[in-house]
Amino acid sequence: MKKSLLSVAVALTLSANAVHAADLLFAPGEDARFSWSSYDALKSVNLSGETVSVFGPWMGDEKTNFERVIAYFEKATGAKVNYAGSDSFEQQIVIDAQAGSAPNISVFPQPGLAADLAAKGFISPLSDTVKNAVVKDYAAGQSWVDLATFKDQKGQDDFYGVFYRADLKSLVWYSPDNFADAGYDVPETMEDLKALTEQIVADGGTPWCIGLGSGAATGWPATDWVEDLLLRTQPASVYDGWVTNDIKFDDPRIVGAIEEFGWFARNDKFVDGGAGAVSSTDFRDSPKGLFQSPPKCYLHRQASFIPAFFPEGTKLGLDADFFYFPSYASKDLGNPVLGAGTLMSITNDSKGARAFIDFIRSPIAHELWMAQTGFLSAHLGANPELYSSEAAKKQGEILRYATTFRFDGSDLMPGKIGAGSFWTGMVDYTGGKDAKEVARDIQKTWDALK
């Protein structure tokens, strides 16, 4: 839940029902913008008669888009690929692995689940060749390798998967018309963003719309804020230690990131409705103030999925746009990006499974979904001109220029923390509770898990 118009030479706009999943979008070599050399490399692998099973969370249009990518692997290698999607993937893959009936390839939405299965011997490690290729070919490549490096049954670190589709959280949304009317420029540093926040107040406006409401999951949007701000105030190693509990929640560096969030969210003048409305405003409703006249706010920090909740008819790039949630110029921590992604791992080893992983880490596998919709890639070899929209292209550029990528921290923590006390603690904090006290309470919950 935390949970994309460049036209192409053929009919990518056909509906999922109008195109069979196995049909090719293009004849190989037809459009020179694609990296067909990486497709040609697959032809050296003869998998005629072999079937590769793939299981993951993608259903509906996402399933169709992925199967259109798979079709090229099948044509190049002669293999048959059977993809199955399920909204109960997380539960089913554990059952299948324990029963010895796991698919060749599993598509994990969260690396934590993959780490659990790797520790039990249910995932096959990948070669150093694959690992080194990811470091070289992906933006912030070492970050992606680190995210897929887990303990094996003997407690030794090994590399277990290749990230394919990425999601982006480090975004601030705004109305270009409102900015133009007020004479505001898009901030390039966190210092600029804070100065803009204060300038909007001085001009008689309200800078931010923030909403933490999400039913039983109320509070999760604040965890994204804290994670993004921690990456902008401390080295990535502090973030890594925090999500594993090696650095405690009540460490001053973590408390400092919570208080950074408070700078934005606990000032009545900075937030639409005042600080008291932050927790009670549903996150799906919170960006709507951007589009009112006069605007109820000018800025909204949220992930790439939030346009789904914009008013009907909102056009990205015209009525709404976004910029990178900036880093501090004074802290020299580069351009960190917070996000998520899907990890491809081998859960039933075979020659075809190894070849499929090689395909997934190739530029062509990324480009073929980029040219459809709903896909972001950190692959440096994938042609960004193939993104299906300007919004997706801009978000892809943010990923490409990231110096550090980190997975959503709360998703890496135990459920009672990341989907429990962290959520409720942020609600308490925005309601006025002291950051140190909130952090101590969250840490007590974590300590009680031992």
**Architecture of the domain delimited by 171-336+408-447:** 3-Layer(aba) Sandwich (3.40)
pLDDT for position 13: 33
Ranges of each domain in the chain? 19-24+33-167+341-398, 171-336+408-447
Structure tokens at 219: 């509070």
Q: Is residue 349 a contact partner of residue 23, using CB atoms and an 8 Å limit?
A: no
**Architecture of the domain delimited by 19-24+33-167+341-398:** 3-Layer(aba) Sandwich (3.40)
pLDDT for position 104: 98
Distance between CA 107 and CA 342 in Å, rounded? 6
Cα 438 to the chain's mean position, in Å? 27
User: In which element (H, E) is residue 410 found?
Assistant: helix 409-412
pLDDT for position 2: 40
Per the listing, tokens 């501090």 go with 328
155: left (phi over 0), alpha (psi -120 to 50) or beta: left
Whole-structure pTM value: 0.90
Cis peptide leading into 187, omega within 30 of 0? no
pLDDT for position 450: 73
Q: Give me the tens of pLDDT residue by residue for the chain, a chain 450 residues long.
A: 343 322 232 333 333 333 333 478 889 999 999 999 999 999 999 999 999 999 999 999 999 999 999 999 999 999 999 999 999 999 999 999 999 999 999 999 989 999 999 999 999 999 999 999 999 999 999 999 999 999 999 999 999 999 999 999 999 999 999 999 999 999 999 999 999 999 999 999 999 999 999 999 999 999 999 999 999 999 999 999 999 999 999 999 999 999 999 999 999 999 999 999 999 999 999 999 999 999 999 999 999 999 999 999 999 999 999 999 999 999 999 999 999 999 999 999 999 999 999 999 999 999 999 999 999 999 999 999 999 999 999 999 999 999 999 999 998 999 899 999 999 999 999 999 999 999 999 999 999 997
The CA–CA distances, whole Å, from 90 to 87, 106, 163 equal 8, 10, 17
pLDDT for position 23: 73
Distance between CA 434 and CA 8 in Å, rounded? 54
